[in-house]
Chain A
Amino acid sequence: MDFGSLLSQTFEQAFGPLAIVYCLAAIGLNVHFGYTGLLNFGQAAFMAVGGYAMASFVQTWGLSMWLGMLVGLGLTVVLALLLGIPTLRLRADYLAIVTIAAAEMIRQTVGSVTLLEYFGGQDGRQGNFAREFRELNPFDEGVDLGFANWGANDFWVMCVGWTLVALSCLVVWALMRSPWGRVLKAIREDEDAARSLGKNVYSYKMQSLILGGMFGAFAGFIYGLSKNAVIPTDYATDTTFFAYTVLLVGGAARVLGPVVGAVIFWGLISALSVFFSQATRSDLIPDSIMSNDQASLMRFIVLGLALMLLMIFRPQGIFGDRKELAIDGR
């Protein structure tokens, strides 16, 4: 058992590009679910729209990546409007159904053979669409902290990514302490009460959906840039559910909840994966119980168990206030 590599891999993953992607996606969900009470189960759709717009602009149409990002953000607004207009007047669960369906529709559409020449089918868009981003990289070689090291490209993504996370948290913090954020919370608590006090609930929900969706688009950008690829399977429903897990681990309706949640989530996944892989290889766990192939799935099983225990014993997440949760919202 090599605990040194276990710790270093855990650390690398906990602060690596993937953690940033899920952190940004969870920040968006925090605006939707944590503050406004909107059950958006299609955050992957917003990420896909962002990522695909950026990648196809370069690879399919040979245009600027930055323009692609801008259009991607515009398209997330359009997507939010399309999802919101029919459903935001209805009860919360309808939005959940519509968003989960819409996310699958978008994934199947961009992955379809008919649109192969634009979006690359199931292979997605890979190649070198991130060139413009990588040219700006000031780091010539990777960064080695002794106990952890990242490649030059990953480290550049992390610098930009964590800056983006910090800015996003700042925006969320500034908005949620304002009267605007207070209206969102009022809507989460009781829509009719907000309405009876003269707040246009529909408009506020739409603003929240758009804002959170844009954080999702940023997550899509970082995802694409870190891998230099956008692939349909990256935007499946489990992406959304992982983002929800990140949010719940950290604590919903807390500004730093998604950040802490993402670090813990990816640290834990990596630690479990390394542990089981090494344990099966070194016969700590004999082959008769578990083979090396099966070990790679154990992390999700243990993670699921951990999530259940968390919900039972600390349902408010790391940052949440238990007293707040104890209040019945009658």
Chain B
Amino acid sequence: MAASSSTAASMFTDVEREPGAKKPDPIVVATGIKRTFGGLVAVDVEHVEIQRGAITALIGPNGAGKTTFFNLLTCFDKPDEGEWSFNGQSLAKMSASRVAKTGMIRTFQLTKVLAKLTVIENMRVGAGGQSGEKIWKAMFPMFWRAEERANTEKADALLERFLLDKKREDFAGSLSGGQRKLLEMARALMADPELVMLDEPMAGVNPALKQSLLGHVKSLRDEGRTVLFVEHDMDMVRDISDWVIVMAQGQIVAEGPPDTVMSDQRVIDAYLGAHHDTELTFEAEEKILAEAEAELAELEEERNE
């Protein structure tokens, strides 16, 4: 089932432009997710749904809790409270590896390639459900040789698509930052995930490579996969996402299609601060000064008593 960008956008025609809006066919539903670090509330999401078969962007200023929310959804971190599901299956009590096995594969903001394994070995690790990964069968290649060959073919095809085929036998640790991003994305695809979660796929990637990465992300959707990504690069968000979710201070403050959400007052406030465009007048400044002086005088009095 190939969904072109126009059909993906049309999924959202009846969706409200409000935080926590209901989607026609959600693949991920999360409710009441809360995570605190000591006194700091890092994530406090009331309700969010991710539409199947579309590219959803998760944006927000630094420290908004995007990556923490990513970690919580993929069970790399446990929330204080909350309930979330993938394809209707609750993930709250699952381990990170189980979550990956259900078809929800993530990448990392700081790429995690397996440095001392070759590129092709990195890819082979990505394949799911290998019988050669059981210790009893591992000793005898007849149990896994055919599977390994199929996985290698698949890996080679992906490497070619991600322009890494020339690096096949190199150690992954010798790749550049951008190539590592490509490798991580390609490796995630080895397991045929339904939902690909990319944490800042563009960070540290040079502009020339960026265009091809954008194409790759789009092609994921065209294959029928769902993509959720965290990104700071607004050009990328505008270019490829079908729907944008904006986080600020741990909460979801706005949702909408990319062209309208950028002009949403709440989004501008979140990025630039609520009073960024109110000019400070002379009277206002005087008032603030007077208040401060009064407060100081009060303190002085207390100390004298």
Could you tell me which A residues sit within 8 Å of B by CB distance? 171, 174-175, 178-183, 185-186, 188-190, 192-201, 207, 211, 323-324, 327-330
Chosen A-B contacts, 10 in total, with CB atoms closer than 8 Å, are A178-B132, A179-B130, A179-B144, A180-B135, A189-B116, A192-B112, A195-B100, A196-B112, A201-B97, A324-B116
Report, nearest first, the 7 A-B pairs whose CB atoms are least far apart.
A327-B173, A180-B138, A179-B132, A198-B100, A178-B138, A193-B112, A189-B114
- Residue A194 contacts which of B98, B124, B125 (CB distance < 8 angstroms)? B125
A197 and B132 contacting across the interface, CB-CB below 8 Å: no
CB distance from A166 to the nearest CB of B (A): 15
Known: A175-B135, A183-B133. Contact between A196 and B107, CB under 8 A? Answer: yes
**CB–CB B117/A182 < 8 A:** yes
Partner of A329, one of B101, B110, B115, B130: B115
User: Are the C-beta atoms of B97 and A207 separated by less than 8 Å?
Assistant: no
> Known: A180-B134, A180-B138, A198-B97. Is A327-B174 also a contact (CB below 8 A)?
yes
Interface flag for B230 (CB, 8 Å): no
Residue in chain B with minimal CB distance to A328? B173
**Within 8 Å CB of A174, what residues of B?**
138-140
A328 to B173, alpha carbons, bound, how many Å?
Answer: 7
Contacting residue for A179 out of B105, B110, B124, CB 8 A: B124
Cα distance, A196 to B97, chains bound together (Å): 6
Interface residues as binary, B139-153 with A (CB distance below 8 Å gives 1, 0 otherwise):
111001000100000
Return chain B residues, CB-CB under 8 Å to A201: 97
CB contact between A175 and one of B107, B112, B126, B138 (< 8 Å): that residue: B138
B118 to chain A, nearest CB (A): 10
Is B224 located at the chain interface by the 8 A CB criterion? Answer: no
Point out the residue from A179, A183, A193, A323 that lies within 8 Å of B108, measured CB to CB. A193
- Please tell me the number of chain B residues within 8 Å of chain A, measured between CB atoms: 42
Chain A neighbourhood of B236, CB < 8 A: none
Q: B191 contacts A327, CB within 8 Å?
A: no
Asked if B128 contacts A207 (CB within 8 A), the reply is no
Q: How far is the CA of A246 from the CA of B141 in the complex (A)?
A: 30
Q: Which residue of A lies closest to B128 (CB)?
A: A198
B251 on interface, CB distance cutoff 8 Å: no
Instruction: Find chain A residues with CB under 8 A from B162 CB.
Output: none
- Find chain A residues with CB under 8 A from B190 CB: 197
**In the complex, what's the smallest C-beta–C-beta distance from B214 to chain A, in angstroms?**
23
Contact A197 B100 (CB under 8 A): yes
User: Is B115 a contact partner of A196 (Cβ separation < 8 A)?
Assistant: no
B176 within 8 A of partner (CB): no
By beta carbon, the residue of chain A nearest B130 is A179
Closest to B107 in A: A196
Which A residues touch B95, using CB under 8 A? 195, 200
B187, CB-defined interface residue at 8 Å: yes
Report the separation of the CA atoms of residues A185 and B171 in the bound assembly, to the nearest whole angstrom. 13
Please give, as numbers and ranges, the residues of chain B lying within 8 Å of A330 by CB-CB distance: 110, 115, 173
Instruction: For residue B269, give the distance in angstroms from its CB to the closest CB of chain A.
Output: 34
Min CB distance, A200 to chain B, in Å? 5
Q: Which residues of B contact A211 (CB under 8 A)?
A: 135
Q: Per a CB cutoff under 8 Å, which of B97, B135, B148 touches A199?
A: B97
Is the CB–CB distance between A190 and B144 below 8 Å?
no
Complexed CA–CA distance, A66 and B130 (Å): 36
Q: Are A182 and B191 in contact (CB under 8 A)?
A: no
**Residue pair B105, A182 in contact (C-beta under 8 Å):** no
Distance of A323 Cα from B98 Cα, bound (Å):
35
Contact call B174/A180, Cβ cutoff below 8 A: no
- Pick the contact of A198: B76, B107, B191 (CB < 8 A): B191
B133 neighbours in A (Cβ, 8 Å): 179-180, 182-183, 199
The chain A residue with its CB closest to the CB of B100 is A198
CB distance from A267 to the nearest CB of B (A): 30
Instruction: Report the bound CA distance from A195 to B116 in whole Å.
Output: 17
> Residue B113 at the A interface, CB < 8 A?
yes
Q: B171 to A323, Cβ gap below 8 A?
A: yes
Evaluate contact between B100 and A185: CB separation under 8 angstroms: no
* Alpha-carbon distance A193/B107, docked complex (angstroms): 8
